[in-house]
Amino acid sequence: MASVSIRNRTERTSISKTLKSYFLVSNMLNLLIQSVINGLLMGCVYALAAMGLALIYGVMNIINFAHGEFIMLSMYLVFVLNQLFNIDPAFSPLLTIPIFFIFGMIVYYGLINRVITGPPLSQIAVTVGLLILLRNTMLAVFKAEPKGVPFTIFAGTLQLNGYVITMSRLLSAIISIFSLIILHLFLTKTYLGTTLRAVADDMETASLMGVNVKKMYALAFGLGSSLIGLAGSLIMTFQQVNPLTGILYGLLAWCIVAMAGLGGVSGVLLSGLILGVSESIGLTFWDPRAREIILYLIFILILWFKPTGLFARR
Amino acid sequence: MRILGKNMLTLLILSIVFILLPVLLQFNNYYLFLATTITFLAVIVSSWNLIGGFAGQLDLAAGAYIGLGAYTTGTLLIRFNVTPWLGMIAGGLAASTIAFLIGYPTFRFGLREVWYALSSAALVPILRTLFLLWEDVGGPAERYLPYYSWSFYHLRFSTYTVYFYILSAFFILILFINIFIKRLKIGYYLLAIRENEEAAEMLGIDTRRYKLYALILYSYIVGMIGGLYACITGYIHPSHFDFWLSIQVAVLGIVGGLGSVAGPPLITFVLGGVAEYLRSTLGAYIEGLHLIFYGIILMLIILFEPKGVSALIEKIAYRYGRRYRRF
Amino acid sequence: MDNSIILSLKDVVKRFGGLTALNKVSFYVKYREILGIIGPNGAGKTTLFNVITGFCKPDSGKILFKNMDITGLPPHKINHLGIARTFQIVKPFLSLTVEDAIRVGAYRSSNDRRIVDEIVDEILYITGLADMRYRLCSECNLVQTKLVELGRALATKPSLLLIDEVASGLNPVEIEKVIELIKKINRDMNITVCVIEHVMKFIMNVSDRIIVLHHGEKISEGTPTEVSKDPKVIEAYLGEVR
């Protein structure tokens, strides 16, 4: 009698152990899938944020160190528009896109135009100056606390199979992909777009064929900047902004551009997704505060092992 | 030494000035603090000149090297009672190692300069977060170095005088190194790399190797100074990884004149003084004002005289009939 | 293993995306000759130099220098082995003085400052730049800049010198000067020379032998007279004749 009950007990404990480990693994798996989902969504937005840089760097070979600060500026703009005019960040792209297009032109003609013929060090240095200016002006004006938008039409969550998807992230991702597709079509199917790509490929030959290179540069800068404006608006639907946000997005964008090489829109999107997922997994399983470290490690690894970019055309 | 010529005289006079300065300032602690801070900056800037001015690479990792040096020296002192004199040597090593890990892949021939600039720039915030999370060695709280009012072993003093002298010695040393290198083959090679890397490569220069030489030397010195910094402040904390320091150093190096020996330190003493004044007076009302000041100065200089103030001075001297002379 | 040949290329292929810049190019260069390389724009001439000197890696094929395989080596190693070159778009050391620029090249040949200075003096004399020695490279006009570039390369004491379109932008007098210099380099300094050029008068005057590239392929080879009469060459240049 006793031996039977002991055997039952051991059976029961081994069963519960299996159940526990199954539960643990499935928990881990759930966590993994959840972070992959988050990562994919974020990746789309990251790709959009980096696309502006990819365009500018690809077409003009201009090194804009202040790219992250531009994104941050766009986010602060959305905040201000929301505070002053109660504009929902979801609708702000209608304003931020044109505003940033103009802003890009101003920066181009005011600053970039002068140093484009100079050594790369000058370009970097000038944009570093811009970086200092922007970041500290934001700090002085808005102070160090994070600023967010209280309400957006994008609010809410979606439940899918037990996985949580925030509406704002989902919609932002969708809008990002949509914009990237439009951009891709623009670059490949329109005359203006192909001219831009020609200038990116070979500036000298293009100018020999009658292309007004300066105008193309200005266009590229303006276009890149409007993408930044859009990205900023979207990000504000699910995140807050503080003066240090610039570093994060700057690093992200450069990381993506390093990975994408000269791969065009698809390269940037793919890199964005990979980065988004890697970051997300790292955040979930290591430390949420280690965001930049993970990105940086990926960046350095790319530089060590595949500096020509994962999707380089050449 | 034939190589140094009349520069030797300048260095000698400079040394005497530095030795006498604390006396002239009547050992006033605030003035000594200013002098120490500015000399501290000048040492880093003149070291930066090796990688930024000679080799032409925009390095933004000075803050990282200071932090690494500080943490290495400080931890060795706190945990193992190793004197900072030795700790600084280890600190320099730590900084150089990290520098090498960043420099080696990014100095590959053909890889654009921007990647090194980015990697070095990102190093500072990354390390700060890392040490913030690394509870064992770092952590969010300050770790205090053992306090002594006057100990050479622990390098702790109650006034700035000794620190000032140590920094002045470093300053004279780095000036010496600058002058020396400029006359040697490595100096010519670094300048060639800066001017036109492809041409340099075709003249038999292993561009990666020479850039690494400059980088290691610079990062080592800054790492050592970082160790000293820990002793001066008396504690170690992730805030020692200061991105703004990196920016300041690069700005001063560029504005002073890339590759010029006297320009960067000169501009450091001038601008550094102005910035410090801004910070202590108006800085209380407008946070980060002195940094905005730096940003504007940098952009203006690059737009009007990209070669920096020293080039401006050289041009003026040249215009007044003198034969071209390096400043 | 031919000891009269200093450089040989075997079936070198180089592609850029969809474009084939070099399509199975093979040729050789004999010791102490002056080989001219001509061809219409976009024929792949500069790419050829880039591949030889290590600025880009060929997709296939071999490059042998003094019977050593140098395919894919980095430029600085190739220079150490004895090849120097000038660039089609000049790459001056703008902030350096003329003598310092040449000194950079000379340091390749010796670490001793005194020997280096001697080499610099010699080069300045040969190139006729002696009175520009203390001036900045940024102050040099076009022909002087090109001479400095040549001087720099010579200072590395190469056995083979590759010269890429040095005559473009020069007036006839300057071109004469450069031709004389190249001949002197070849005769008195025993340096083998490969010259890429567009200016016909220049190349016909200077070369012992010529190869012609077109669309990345070698279409002709021979003495200047032979090549100028070759119908394939004439056809390739139709519309491009200077």
- Averaged pLDDT for residues A125-149: 83
* C34 shares its domain with C60: yes
Burial of B61 by CB count in 10 Å (0-12 exposed, 13-18 middle, 19+ buried)? buried
User: Helix H segments across A202-263?
Assistant: 203-208, 213-235, 245-260
- pLDDT at residue A308, as a whole number: 64
Phi, psi of C93 (to 5 degrees): -95, 80
Q: Which residues of B touch C101 (CB under 8 A)?
A: 192
Say if CB B196 and CB C93 are below 8 A apart.
yes
Distance (Å) from the alpha carbon of A288 to chain B's nearest alpha carbon: 11
Quick: pLDDT tens for B178-188: 998 988 999 99
Helix (H, G, I), strand (E, B) or coil at A213: helix
* C54 shares its domain with C107: no
Measured N-to-C along each axis, helices A213-235 and A2-60 cross at an angle, to the nearest 10 degrees, of: 150
Of the given ranges (A231-235, B162-166, C39-43), which has the lowest mean pLDDT? C39-43
B323: contact with C, CB 8 A cutoff: yes
Subunits close to B (at least 3 CB pairs below 8 A): A, C
Q: Which residues of A touch B113 (CB under 8 A)?
A: 120-121, 124
- pLDDT above 60 for B327: no
Mutation pick from C50, C73, C93 vs chain B, by most beta carbons of B within 10 Å, is: C93
When CB atoms are compared, the residue of A139, A247, A299 closest to B288 is A139
* C108 shares its domain with C2: no
- pLDDT above 90 for B299: no
DSSP symbol at C137? G
Domain ranges of chain A: 37-245
Residue C4 belongs to a domain:
yes
Say yes or no for a CB contact (<8 Å) between A313 and C17. Answer: yes
Measured N-to-C along each axis, helices A67-85 and A2-60 cross at an angle, to the nearest 10 degrees, of: 100
How far is it, in rounded angstroms, from Cα A228 to Cα A102?
A: 12
When CB atoms are compared, the residue of A130, A136, A303 closest to B299 is A130
Range among A200-204, B167-171, B255-259, C12-16 with highest mean pLDDT value? B167-171
Give me B190's structure tokens.
Answer: 């670094």
How far is it, in rounded angstroms, from Cα A67 to Cα A73?
A: 10
Subunits close to C (at least 3 CB pairs below 8 A): A, B
Q: Among C183, C233, C185, C176, which residue's Cα sits nearest to residue C208?
A: C183
Q: Rg of chain B's alpha carbons, rounded to an integer?
A: 20
- Averaged pLDDT for residues B220-225: 97
Residue C12 belongs to a domain:
yes
Say if CB A48 and CB A286 are below 8 A apart.
no
Distance (Å) from the alpha carbon of B57 to chain A's nearest alpha carbon: 7
Domain containing C47 equals: 1-82+160-169+192-242
- pLDDT at residue C215, as a whole number: 84
* C103 shares its domain with C75: no
Say yes or no for a CB contact (<8 Å) between B203 and C94. Answer: no
What value of ipTM does the predicted structure carry?
0.90
Report which of residues A58 and B37 the model is more confident about: B37
Chain A nearest-CA residue for B106: A303
- pLDDT above 70 for B292: yes
Chain A nearest-CA residue for B196: A119
B266: contact with C, CB 8 A cutoff: no
- pLDDT at residue B165, as a whole number: 92
Q: Annotate C109-123 with b (16+ C-beta within 10 A) or e (fewer).
A: eeeeeeebeebbebb
- Averaged pLDDT for residues B227-241: 94
Of the given ranges (A58-72, A101-115, A202-216, C72-86), which has the lowest mean pLDDT? A202-216
Q: Which residues of B touch A128 (CB under 8 A)?
A: 58, 60, 247, 250-251, 298
Range among A21-25, B314-318, C59-63 with highest mean pLDDT value? C59-63
- Averaged pLDDT for residues A288-296: 79
Q: Among C218, C226, C194, which residue's Cα sits nearest to residue C207?
A: C194
Residue C95 belongs to a domain:
yes
- pLDDT above 50 for A310: no
What does pLDDT average to over chain B? 86
Say yes or no for a CB contact (<8 Å) between B298 and A300. Answer: no
Distance (Å) from the alpha carbon of B322 to chain A's nearest alpha carbon: 28
- The neighbour count for residue A37, using CB atoms within 10 Å, is 18
- Averaged pLDDT for residues B33-57: 92
Say yes or no for a CB contact (<8 Å) between A299 and B288. Answer: no
Largest CA distance in chain B: 63
- pLDDT at residue B1, as a whole number: 42
Q: Among B83, B33, B41, which residue's Cα sits nearest to residue B63?
A: B41
- Averaged pLDDT for residues A156-180: 85
Confidence of residue B5 (pLDDT cuts 50, 70, 90): low
C16: contact with A, CB 8 A cutoff: yes
- The neighbour count for residue B48, using CB atoms within 10 Å, is 28
Distance (Å) from the alpha carbon of C176 to chain B's nearest alpha carbon: 26
Report CA B164 to chain centroid distance, whole Å: 16
Of the given ranges (A110-124, A211-225, A228-242, B120-134), which has the lowest mean pLDDT? A110-124
The C-side interface with B (CB below 8 A) comprises: 53, 55, 74-76, 79-80, 84-85, 87, 91-97, 100-101, 103-105, 107-108, 111, 134-136, 149, 152-153, 155-156
Query: pTM of the predicted model, to two decimals?
Result: 0.85
A153: contact with B, CB 8 A cutoff: no
A287: contact with B, CB 8 A cutoff: yes
Chain C nearest-CA residue for B3: C113
Q: Which residues of C touch B206 (CB under 8 A)?
A: 74, 76
- Percent of chain C scoring above 90 in pLDDT: 52
Report which of residues A4 and B249 the model is more confident about: B249
Count how many pairs of residues, chain A against chain B, have C-beta atoms within 8 Å.
Answer: 120
Largest CA distance in chain A: 99
Which residue(s) pair with C27 in the sheet?
C9
Bridge-based pairing of strands C5-16 and C19-30 is antiparallel
Quick: pLDDT tens for B120-132: 988 998 899 899 8
CA-angle at B38, arms to B34 and B44, nearest 5°: 150
How far is it, in rounded angstroms, from Cα B13 to Cα A228?
A: 54
Query: DSSP letter string over C26-87?
Result: EEEEETT-EEEEE-STTSSHHHHHHHHTTSS--SEEEEEETTEE-TT--HHHHHHHTEEE--
Helix (H, G, I), strand (E, B) or coil at A163: strand
- The neighbour count for residue B321, using CB atoms within 10 Å, is 6
When CB atoms are compared, the residue of B109, B195, B202 closest to C53 is B202
- pLDDT above 80 for A289: no
Q: Among C41, C149, C162, which residue's Cα sits nearest to residue C90?
A: C149
- pLDDT at residue A10, as a whole number: 56
When CB atoms are compared, the residue of A125, A251, A254 closest to B58 is A125
How far is it, in rounded angstroms, from Cα A34 to Cα C196?
A: 61
- Averaged pLDDT for residues B46-53: 94
How far is it, in rounded angstroms, from Cα C121 to Cα A2?
A: 107
Say yes or no for a CB contact (<8 Å) between A122 and B101. Answer: no
- pLDDT above 50 for A1: no
- Percent of chain A scoring above 90 in pLDDT: 14
- pLDDT at residue A311, as a whole number: 41
When divided into structural domains, chain C yields a total of 2
Confidence of residue A2 (pLDDT cuts 50, 70, 90): very low
- pLDDT at residue A314, as a whole number: 29
Say if CB A52 and CB A108 are below 8 A apart.
no
Q: Which residues of B touch C136 (CB under 8 A)?
A: 324
Residue C177 belongs to a domain:
no
Query: DSSP letter string over B78-104?
Result: HHH---HHHHHHHHHHHHHHHHHHHHH
In sequence order, the 6+-apart residues with CB closer than 8 A to the CB of B301 are B254, B255, B308, B309
Chain A nearest-CA residue for C19: A314
Q: Which residues of C touch A261 (CB under 8 A)?
A: none
Range among A122-136, B126-140, B193-207 with highest mean pLDDT value? B193-207
What average pLDDT values come out for chain C (242 residues) when binned by 10 residues?
83 82 90 90 82 90 93 94 92 92 93 92 92 90 93 94 90 89 91 89 88 88 88 74 48
Q: Which residues of A touch C17 (CB under 8 A)?
A: 313-314
Say yes or no for a CB contact (<8 Å) between C76 and B205. Answer: yes
Bridge-based pairing of strands C34-38 and C209-214 is parallel
Distance (Å) from the alpha carbon of A67 to chain B's nearest alpha carbon: 12
Instruction: Find residues 170-209 of chain B whose CB sits inside 8 Å of chain C.
Output: 185, 188-189, 191-192, 194-196, 198-207
Q: Which residues of B touch A120 (CB under 8 A)?
A: 112-114
How far is it, in rounded angstroms, from Cα B192 to Cα B259?
A: 11
Query: DSSP letter string over B107-173?
Result: TSTTS-HHHHHHHHHHHHHHHHHHHHH-TTT--SS-EEPPP-SEETTTTEESSSHHHHHHHHHHHHH
CA-angle at A54, arms to A255 and B52, nearest 5°: 65
Q: Which residues of B touch A139 (CB under 8 A)?
A: 287-288
Q: Which residues of C touch B203 (CB under 8 A)?
A: 76, 79, 84, 104-105, 108, 152-153, 155-156
Helix (H, G, I), strand (E, B) or coil at B307: coil
- pLDDT above 60 for A4: no
